[in-house]
Structure 1
């Protein structure tokens, strides 16, 4: 590409952060996609000098210069919404298109996939059926994970100083639905034999001696895993709440059913992803919220996170 693509973002906020983690995981350099740090709305929503103005719409926004554009404010093709941006970039990485680093093969989740009854014995057919099922499983996890961040908004709106009104009982009610989603993902991990062991970032020495010592090879993470981690990362780093912690008690869920509130697989997933360089927040790149906002975000009404 003659000019880099531009990712307009508030780097510390949840949806742009997904894409920034993705860029690091795929080793997509700034010469290919440059992150344009737009100042938060409270500070005027300004774009740094030397870049075209922020396009209309909520961030992140990927701006791709048209072939006829010089990159100095000419025509762009825009892709909006974080998941759509990552899926578009993933396709580029699968094919090596536009000069992006090519993945050796399309990534899949580390899960157990059983054959679909009725498929033919032909090897090509069985492999195609397995790929289709793995894609479906990835979509399942992606849908569940993206719903977590969406459901956080009413919790913080009604329960924290970052919201617009204090209605603790409403925040606690919405928290119940988020915890229901967490239990669904925990169950998904169990049912699909999900293995997060490879998420831990081994040192170069560990990888070099893996053959002799059984060390764990590094692996690339999928979009669904990035979105899931981003939720835990956002709630812990910005709002001071570790959503992988659970009471370990039998509680009443939003449907009045008794369920065991425990997420051991999610906790392991979060802890291992934290070891990856992509998970680190860099203050000089705008990835850490202003301390005044942190005070507001961590100012919670009492009783919201107490288990019954």
Structure 2
């Protein structure tokens, strides 16, 4: 049965879901907001009498705008300085849905997919749309979309948490990692890191950061110990403990006074992935932290 036509009020109700879709496609909240605003303008100028399902129309519009943007973004990523990490979004962000399960680690895995694979996987596996609607959105037949989603699923399967830790345990491990990394405690770090841990530090060429991802517990531990011993990290208490894109983490104010986010992918009480964002362009959406630091996490 046709869905009622959406006016501005209806669009406001649909907007959070459209923002989540666009953010998951693009990895940038600012770009997601621009895309959704563009979709609204297109909806505002559309012949509503010819639209049978407003929500499907808007999802289709947002997805196609994202695909267009990803073509140019792909070229920009080729010249990006250092590892690229999605813009950090905190659990209290007004656009994030409760129980939104697509973690930062999974979003990093999505970066290895083609734009069409990413769209098919998100629309079907994450947002639960039938392949008929996915096919209409991507201008492909349903069988082709099933293949796209299946290929994507295979790529991201390794990044899906198999043994997720509780919120409290994640917070405890984040506390231990913060303390060990800021003290330069080699033994403490090695006790926390998985053997095949990976570290991604995104400075975007605008702040100092490792220019390539680091792999392996020994290399990762030595990296953080070196920073601490050279006095290149702040030992002040964290600004806030938080959840960043579904992962336990924390926000710090570093020696230059600029904020930094750290998110931890944890499996079976060991840190599997460390995602640090230092690029100031990606931190503009963080709250204004004028309150005293959260003293729970301190060296």
Shared fold by TM > 0.5?
Answer: no
The TM-score with structure 2 as length reference comes to 0.30
